[in-house]
Amino acid sequence: MANVKKEAPELECDQCGTTSELTPILTYVHQGEEKHVCTHCLPMLIHG
């Protein structure tokens, strides 16, 4: 069987709580801690 399904971890945005099912989620590291943010919240993150 060539049914190779990747196990995609369900990521959640730390800001708004949306999941990677609905919105692309980016992973980043801040002060040694791994964080997750969706593309909607990323601009807010950049602007502080």
Sites of contact with Zn ion (CB under 5 A): 13, 15-16, 38, 41
Least Å distance, CB 6 to Zn ion, is 23
Q: Return the amino acid letter for 5.
A: K
Tell me the sheet residues that pair with 19: 12
Helix/strand number for the chain, H first, E second: 1, 2
Nearest approach in angstroms of CB 22 to Zn ion is 10
What is the rounded CA–CA span in Å between residue 24 and residue 16?
13
For Zn ion, the closer of residues 5 and 34 by Cβ is 34
15 or 20, CB closer to Zn ion?
A: 15
